[in-house]
Amino acid sequence: MDNALEEYSLQRSNKVRLKAQLEAMSTMVVEETELPLVFVIDELDRCRPTFSIELLERVKHIFDVPGMVFVFGVNRDELCSSIKSIYGEIDADVYLRRFFDLEFLLPEASSENFCRHLIERY
């Protein structure tokens, strides 16, 4: 029991120190650039379901720092499937709203336009 309590205390103090360092780093970036510190996480939906969910939870709770922004590139349907594989038949859309402040749906690219662009460019 004592060992478990010591482990918990150590993890908690590490989390507090990490958050303080992240806040300092974020503040420095904002002061120098007048822009937030942005992290891009792409293809989270292709990761193991447990990893995806744990990462979302950590970003929400540990990296919730002023001046720090996370941008996730995901296939929402696949991420919802991952959530359901862990938690069962829950409303995965409602669950995801806990983590995302804004959502944008990108239109599917036209193969013809993409090929034309490549030919013109190269």
**pLDDT of 120 strictly over 70:** yes
Neighbours of 97 (CB within 10 A): 11
Alpha-carbon distance of 4 to 85, in angstroms, equals 30
Helix or strand run (H / E) with residue 72: strand 68-73
Q: What is the mean pLDDT of the chain?
A: 91
In tens, the pLDDT along 90-103 reads: 999 999 999 998 89
pLDDT at 24: 95
The domain locations on the chain are: 2-121
The answer to whether 55 and 70 have CB atoms below 8 angstroms apart is no
In tens, the pLDDT along 15-51 reads: 889 989 999 999 999 999 999 999 999 999 999 999 9
Greatest Cα-to-Cα distance within the chain, rounded to the nearest angstrom: 68
- Confidence band for 1, pLDDT divided at 50, 70 and 90: low
**pLDDT of 108 strictly over 90:** no
pLDDT at 9: 86
In tens, the pLDDT along 71-80 reads: 999 999 999 9
Residue 35 is encoded by which pair of tokens?
A: 């822009």
**pLDDT of 106 strictly over 90:** no
